[in-house]
Structure 1
Amino acid sequence: MITETSTKDELFTAINQTLSEMVGLTSLLDENKINSIPYKDSWTAGQLIRHVTKSTNEMAKAMSMESKPAKRDPGEKILHLKKVFLDFSNKIKSPDFIVPEDGPYKKQTSIDEINKSFEQFKDSTNNANLNDILEGLPLGEITKLEALHFVLYHTQRHLQQMKKICDTLKIQE
């Protein structure tokens, strides 16, 4: 269980487990299903993977951004981020710059791109001071530690969405 005091390695393990499950679900889809709209107001599986990839790429860049030491508890906003992103009853509007393109998407290309984005994120996070503040993000002023938690919660949120998409597509077969 991830807590405010979890280590970087524990967080990476949790992110990797979540990502592996998402990739596993995607790999089980037929190639033509990755671009199928499963239900009203939903992204396709390909769009969902693209969204998570774009978000993770942006967070990898953020981890490499110039930053300054926090003048507050670096984990102060972790519980808030968890509450917001893991409340599945709450619909969250995505910032335009990480909204996925319409597609079409190729399954293996999508899987390769999301895996690459998480590797880049991990590399940039390994070199980051997690106690530093990031400014100018849609999340507001957050620390790099909080950003690491965001990536976990954001990915967990979309894993649940991917499960729903895959379940719906299987029913439609």
Structure 2
Amino acid sequence: MDAQLQSETEKTFKGLYHALAPLSEQQVNTVPFAGSWTAGQVTEHIIKSAGGLNHVCGGPGIAVDRAQDEKVKAIRDLFLDFSVKFQAPDFIVPCNGPHNKEELLTSLRQVEQEIGQLAATTDLSPECALFELPGFGKLTKFELLSFVLIHAQRHTRQLENISRHLMS
């Protein structure tokens, strides 16, 4: 596995688990303030956004003449700019719940394992023929896995804010 990707995966999921840990089952399903998703909905959104990684990364790849991580900095700069707001596409909008905290944690662990397995067994340099990220076009498999992690990092901050609000 690419050491950078492995480190990023471990850091990202540690942050997610840490953000969810203090929340009770009831708090996972509590809207913390007007206009917010619940912690359960945020977590479901993260899980849905990683759906199909095996299919996309295991699918056909397109050889490229660029570094496999060329677009990662631009993706990171955009998605970790918390002044920018995004509208989630319908296919990753979470349900209203209720959400089961243990089931969410189990699903997060599965996503973490899936990323690790793909990173360890897949050539990450080709572009994914089956996926395009709006504004960025086709991503290499490395960039796609990095995007999933960056997206999760963005929402980890949201979970931390929800947790702080519910615990105060």
TM superposition score normalised by structure 1: 0.87
Is residue 12 of structure 2 the alignment partner of residue 15 of structure 1? no
SS in structure 2 at match of 1:141: strand
Map of 2:36 onto structure 1: 42
- Structure 1 regions of 5+ residues with no counterpart? 1-6
Is residue 146 of structure 2 the alignment partner of residue 149 of structure 1? yes
Is residue 100 of structure 2 the alignment partner of residue 103 of structure 1? no
Instruction: Sort the Cα spacing of 1:27 and 1:110 in 2 relative to 1 into closer, same or farther, 3 A.
Output: same
> Could you say what the CA RMSD is over the residues aligned between the two structures, in angstroms?
1.7
Is residue 75 of structure 2 the alignment partner of residue 70 of structure 1? no
SS in structure 2 at match of 1:160: helix
Is residue 19 of structure 2 the alignment partner of residue 25 of structure 1? yes
Structure 1 runs (4+) greater than 3 angstroms displaced: none
- The worse-fitting range, judged by mean Cα deviation, of 158-167 and 56-65 is 56-65
TM superposition score normalised by structure 2: 0.89
Distance in 2 (alpha carbons) for counterparts of 1:166 and 1:60 = 31
- Structure 2 regions of 5+ residues with no counterpart? none
Distance in 2 (alpha carbons) for counterparts of 1:61 and 1:118 = 16
Aligned residues: 165
Of 133, 157, 160 in structure 2, the residue corresponding to residue 160 of structure 1 is: 157
Letter aligned with residue 96 of structure 1 = D
Instruction: Sort the Cα spacing of 1:138 and 1:103 in 2 relative to 1 into closer, same or farther, 3 A.
Output: farther
Distance in 2 (alpha carbons) for counterparts of 1:31 and 1:75 = 38
Contact 1:95 1:138 in 2 (8 A): no
CA drift of 1:138 comes to 4.4
Map of 1:3 onto structure 2: none
Map of 1:170 onto structure 2: 167
Taking only the aligned residue pairs, the percentage that are identical comes to 30
CA drift of 1:119 comes to 0.7
